[in-house]
Amino acid sequence: MANHPFSWPGSAYFVPKGTSTGVIIKPSYSYTTSDVQRLLPADRKCLYPNEYHKYEFETLPGTLYFRLNCLAECRQKQMITNCNCTVDFLYPTADYPVCKISDFKCLYNYDTLFNFERPPKGNPYFSEDEVGLSCECLPECESIDYSLDVSPIPRLSNDAENAILVDIHFQQSTMVKYRTSVVFGWLDLMVAFGGIAGLFLGCSLISVAEVVYYFAIGLTKLSLRKFLSLDRKRKDAVLH
């Protein structure tokens, strides 16, 4: 397994004995621009580390927010709900009852639920009858992900029957960088409307702004000048 040092371990790989195994690590870096942070988490589909308290997302006690930490806490709460205990050697110490040997049958009965994840309810591509955890756990808006290629090859020498050779290395000295930004914002929308108005109506947003200015500001000033002029004439008539 390869993950962030503050992220709870996810899936693992089994390396059989008597093999020479190559583990190729392919990291990738994902981040978002500042204009994305102004959107709600439900719209940008990701979460910043300082937001999970604000939006009530789960994480393991005493840990930072990571999607794997959120999934681990969700899985642990499902164990409490269905079996009234949790496996203490898989999760950090918390105020949950620890599973005893007598509880293992319950864990086995719900093994499919605990080990599979399904999208939240309402997803048109998944049946509501699918068994699995349905957790509200958004990915991080900035993260380094590690993809692994594991290739075990049997060793030819007889004296290496119980030996394991593991070669772990990065695929290359660089990594792929993914950026998420707002492609079409309010400014782009105004520019698009201005182009459409210029194409079909022969005017631009500046022309529309001039008309609005004339009616909102120009007419107001004209009415005010007329009112002041009439008021001055009335005062002159009274004096004469």
How confident is the prediction along the chain (240 residues), in pLDDT tens digits per residue?
A: 677 777 877 677 788 888 888 889 999 999 998 888 888 888 888 888 778 777 777 788 777 888 888 888 888 888 989 999 888 777 776 778 888 889 989 989 998 888 888 877 777 777 777 788 888 888 889 988 888 888 888 876 666 677 888 888 898 889 999 998 888 766 667 767 666 666 666 666 666 677 777 777 767 777 777 777 776 666 665 555
One domain, residues 196 and 215: yes
**Residue 118 to residue 226: CA distance in whole angstroms:** 71
Q: How many CB atoms lie within 10 A of CB 57?
A: 19
Helix (H) or strand (E) holding 179: strand 176-180
One domain, residues 196 and 95: no
One domain, residues 179 and 198: no
One domain, residues 95 and 210: no
In angstroms and rounded to an integer, the radius of gyration of the C-alpha atoms of the chain is 32
- Residue whose pair of structure tokens reads 């990915």 in the numeric block: 139
Residue 59 structure tokens:
């994480």
**Is 99 among the domain residues?**
yes
**Is 137 among the domain residues?**
yes
**Is 12 among the domain residues?**
no
Is pTM beyond 0.75 here? no
Q: Specify whether the CB–CB gap between 172 and 27 falls below 8 A.
A: no
One domain, residues 113 and 103: yes
Task: Tally the residues of the chain.
Answer: 240
Phi, psi (deg, nearest 5) at residue 210? -65, -40
- Cβ neighbours of residue 99 closer than 8 Å, sequence gap 6 or more: 79, 83, 85, 86, 87, 88, 107
Number of domains forming the structure of the chain: 2
